[in-house]
């Protein structure tokens, strides 16, 4: 059975190819609110999303479309997050659709995210409606962009709709293409319930609100439902649709996109990708591809002011209520005091959380260097995972270390291919393929994930004068020769500065941190050694020179014995300082070193 008059679709595009503008135009043409600023209040809910121009949450909208021939349709437009950190969320949003509009900027052509997103759609068996956008631009080459789509992704160029989100040109054709090319949802409304969760958020009054696509059966208030992966059951309070915003309705039959409130208190129980079914009459199989939200990047967060520890914990707890992918646990650092080890989906996710803590909760934070999760096999056969340099064992206890790898796709104009390949080489990348697409090249590399955490994107952009684009996916673990580098100030290990790094990079990184640290530590009464070590062996050192307190200045003239005595005294003083003193390393020093590793 099909619901012939429903179309569930999403718009996918490379960043800045005009997704939001086109979505706006579609909304406007269908009589929903149109202007960007209104939309901002509805679709893009977070202030940060607006500022950064990226979508973090997928927000659906239900629209009415009346064809020129009078037939009426319901369109569910499901917005998707626009960043690789959230690719799993994107894939679940796509799984809720039957088709996508694949947008390409007519002046830019196919970019890295265009390709990755197109494959996400293909993996989900979706119908793709190609749209060449921004055709009003003077530099637009719509035929060229369409030809690239055909060449790279295999979508016939003839199928492309030429459009402009700015002028509205081509939008009526897009609406018709949605009806004609994207299949109606199928699914038996009488079958046992099967619904996919593609997003959720926490509401203080109603608990977790699930965004669902009903695949089979019908979802009603008072239904007893069961979450198949979480293994928990709940009673439905309310169901409804998005218009935009939550509108209460009475039922969600197969094919529908809507929301459910079921008094769920913990967002961990209602993860994206899980399947809802009836508590009594269950569907045979959950929707495939569920992955529990799992952080892949970790970093320590410490309040600059130790008084703020409790405030930080409360803020983290609040953020976690709404974010199943974020986790944290208390951690103590000798250098930074009490803080939390936090896990994120990626660097952007980490930055977003940090910024929200600083803005919404008015906290001042220090973050330690981001780290990936390593898998360590010890000589005694024990295997464990760790992302914390503090837990990384010494060389003699390690049998094998494995680190996460990604498949990285970079699109770049051909004149920059050389320097980009060199950059990837420096980052321990191994080339897989190289494809020419007109005057541009797609490079596909396998690279250790850790290698792109430190200013990779910035380097890529500056080398290519902004023209390169990238996207990636995780591809599992590979063996790597990794070491822990410790940093010592005045012979004491500064735990917060330890890093895990590939054997080939220990010296250069050790040197860099040591020099930087020596630069930012204020001079003391005695020289302070700063060292980088591996398993106790020094690999780099620098010295913070002592003040030379000019004791001799006091004795005019030539009483040599007096001079000697003074010098003697000063030497003793130095020794005492060394003996008693740990060096006061100001927090700015950590900030300087941690800020741009
Ligand atoms: P992300 O949300 O960051 O992925 O970006 P987006 O794909 O939603 O792009 P957005 O709609 O924000 O547009 C990016 C830029 O392109 C903005 O400066 C728009 O004003 C401009 N733009 C979008 N569509 C058109 C178009 O059809 N013609 C022209 N000339 N400019 C456009």
From ligand 1's centre to the CA of 14, what distance in Å?
A: 10
Residue 171 · residue 25 · CB < 8 Å: yes
**What whole-number distance in Å separates Cα of residue 108 and Cα of residue 410?**
14
What H or E segment, with its residue span, contains residue 213? Answer: strand 207-216
Question: In this predicted structure, what is the pLDDT of residue 291?
Answer: 84
Residue 420 · residue 468 · CB < 8 Å: yes
**What whole-number distance in Å separates Cα of residue 165 and Cα of residue 452?**
34
Whole-number percent of the chain with pLDDT over 90: 48
Instruction: Please identify which residue in the block is written with the tokens 């994207």.
Output: 182
Residue 3 has pLDDT above 80, yes or no: no
From ligand 1's centre to the CA of 61, what distance in Å?
A: 19
Residue 540 per-residue DSSP state: E
Cβ(101) – ligand 1 distance below 6 Å: no
The rounded Cα 242 to chain-centroid distance in angstroms is: 26
Question: In this predicted structure, what is the pLDDT of residue 169?
Answer: 96
**What whole-number distance in Å separates Cα of residue 210 and Cα of residue 207?**
10
CA dihedral 392, 395, 399, 400 (to 10 degrees): 60
Atom of ligand 1 nearest to the CA of 53: 3
Residue 449: Cβ-neighbour burial (10 angstroms; 0-12, 13-18, 19+): buried
Cβ(19) – ligand 1 distance below 6 Å: yes
Cβ(137) – ligand 1 distance below 6 Å: yes
**What whole-number distance in Å separates Cα of residue 94 and Cα of residue 287?**
13
Using alpha carbons, select from 17, 46, 1 the residue that is nearest to residue 360: 46
| 3-state class (DSSP) for residue 165 | coil
The encoded tokens of residue 550 equal 């000019």
Cβ(349) – ligand 1 distance below 6 Å: no
Mean pLDDT of 347-372: 86
Nearest CA to ligand 1 atom 16: 18
**What whole-number distance in Å separates Cα of residue 520 and Cα of residue 516?**
6
**What whole-number distance in Å separates Cα of residue 427 and Cα of residue 452?**
7
Residue 319 · residue 56 · CB < 8 Å: no
Atom of ligand 1 nearest to the CA of 103: 7
**What whole-number distance in Å separates Cα of residue 38 and Cα of residue 137?**
25
Atom of ligand 1 nearest to the CA of 24: 11
Give strand ranges (E) for 217-355: 218-219, 224-227, 232-235, 238-242, 246-249, 252-253, 257-261, 275-278, 297-303, 327-333, 337-344
Determine which of 26-35, 291-300, 563-572 has the lowest per-residue pLDDT on average: 563-572
Whole-number percent of the chain with pLDDT over 70: 86
Determine which of 335-339, 564-568, 578-582 has the lowest per-residue pLDDT on average: 578-582
217, 286, 327, 497 from 282: Cα distances, Å: 10, 10, 31, 52
The rounded Cα 593 to chain-centroid distance in angstroms is: 23
**Averaged confidence pLDDT in the chain:** 85
Instruction: Please identify which residue in the block is written with the tokens 């997704």.
Output: 19
Cβ(170) – ligand 1 distance below 6 Å: no
21 vs 572, more confident: 21
Determine which of 195-199, 291-295, 411-415, 432-436 has the lowest per-residue pLDDT on average: 291-295
Residue 540 · residue 514 · CB < 8 Å: yes
Tell me how far apart the 2 most distant CA atoms of the chain are, in Å: 111
Residue 557 has pLDDT above 60, yes or no: no
From ligand 1's centre to the CA of 104, what distance in Å?
A: 11
Rounded CA Rg of the chain: 29
Question: In this predicted structure, what is the pLDDT of residue 497?
Answer: 84
Residue 451 · residue 423 · CB < 8 Å: no
Residue 54 has pLDDT above 70, yes or no: no
Task: Give pLDDT tens digits for 19-44.
Answer: 989 998 998 888 775 444 444 444 44
Using alpha carbons, select from 182, 243, 249 the residue that is nearest to residue 214: 249
Using alpha carbons, select from 409, 459, 406 the residue that is nearest to residue 437: 409
Question: In this predicted structure, what is the pLDDT of residue 222?
Answer: 95
Question: In this predicted structure, what is the pLDDT of residue 578?
Answer: 31
Total residues found in the chain within this entry: 597
Residue 495 per-residue DSSP state: G
- ipTM > 0.95 for the complex: yes
């Amino acid at each position: 059975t099909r619901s012939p008059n429903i179309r569930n679709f999403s718009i996918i595009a490379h960043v800045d190819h005009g997704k939001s503008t086109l979505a706006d135009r579609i909304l406007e043409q269908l009589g929903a609110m149109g202007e960007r600023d209104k939309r901002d209040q509805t679709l893009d809910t977070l202030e940060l999303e607006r500022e950064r121009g990226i979508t973090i949450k997928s927000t659906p909208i239900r629209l009415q479309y009346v064809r020129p021939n009078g037939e009426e349709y319901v369109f569910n437009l499901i917005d998707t997050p626009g960043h690789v950190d959230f690719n799993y969320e994107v894939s679940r949003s796509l799984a809720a659709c039957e088709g996508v509009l694949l947008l390409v900027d007519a002046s830019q052509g196919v970019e890295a995210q265009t390709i990755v997103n197109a494959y996400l759609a293909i993996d989900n068996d979706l119908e793709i409606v190609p749209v060449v956008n921004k055709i009003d631009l003077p530099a637009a080459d719509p035929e060229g962009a369409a030809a690239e789509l055909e060449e790279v992704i295999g979508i016939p160029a003839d199928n492309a709709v030429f459009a402009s989100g700015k002028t509205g040109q081509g939008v009526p054709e897009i609406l018709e293409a949605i009806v004609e090319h994207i299949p109606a949802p199928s699914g038996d409304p009488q079958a046992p319930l099967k619904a996919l969760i593609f997003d959720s958020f926490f509401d203080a009054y109603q608990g977790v609100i699930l965004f669902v696509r009903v695949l089979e059966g019908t979802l009603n208030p008072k239904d007893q439902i069961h979450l198949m992966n979480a293994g928990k059951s709940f009673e439905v309070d309310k169901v409804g649709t998005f218009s935009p915003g939550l509108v209460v309705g009475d039922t969600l039959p197969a094919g529908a996109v809507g929301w459910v409130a079921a008094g769920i208190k913990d967002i961990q129980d209602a993860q994206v990708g899980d399947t809802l079914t009836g508590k009594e009459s269950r569907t045979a199989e959950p929707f495939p591809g569920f992955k529990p939200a799992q952080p892949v990047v970790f970093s320590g967060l410490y309040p600059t002011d130790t008084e703020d520890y409790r405030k930080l914990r409360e803020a983290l707890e609040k953020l976690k209520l709404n974010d199943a992918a974020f986790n944290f646990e208390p951690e103590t650092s000798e250098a930074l005091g009490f803080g939390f080890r936090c896990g994120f989906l990626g660097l952007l996710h980490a930055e977003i959380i940090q910024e929200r803590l600083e803005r919404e909760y008015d906290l001042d934070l220090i973050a330690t260097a981001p780290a990936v999760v390593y898998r360590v096999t010890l000589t005694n056969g024990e295997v464990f995972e760790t992302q914390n340099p503090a837990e990384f064992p010494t060389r003699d206890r390690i049998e094998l270390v494995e680190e996460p790898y990604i498949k990285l796709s970079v699109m770049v104009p051909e004149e920059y291919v050389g320097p980009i390949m060199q950059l990837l080489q420096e980052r321990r990348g191994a080339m897989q393929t190289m494809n020419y697409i007109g005057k541009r090249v797609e490079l596909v590399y396998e690279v250790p994930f850790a290698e792109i955490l430190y200013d990779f994107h910035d380097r890529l952009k500056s080398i290519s004068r902004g023209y390169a684009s990238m996207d990636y996916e995780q591809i599992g673990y590979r063996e790597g020769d990794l070491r822990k580098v410790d940093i010592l100030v005045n012979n004491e290990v500064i735990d917060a500065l330890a890093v895990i790094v590939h054997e080939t990079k220990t010296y250069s990184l050790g040197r860099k941190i040591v020099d930087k640290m020596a630069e930012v530590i204020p001079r003391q009464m005695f020289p302070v050694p700063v060292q980088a070590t591996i398993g106790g062996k020094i690999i780099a050192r620098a010295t913070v020179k002592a003040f030379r307190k000019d004791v001799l200045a006091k004795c005019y003239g030539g009483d040599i014995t007096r001079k000697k005595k003074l010098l003697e005294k000063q030497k003793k003083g130095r020794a005492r300082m060394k003996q008693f003193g740990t060096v006061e390393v100001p927090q700015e020093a950590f900030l300087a070193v941690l800020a741009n590793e």
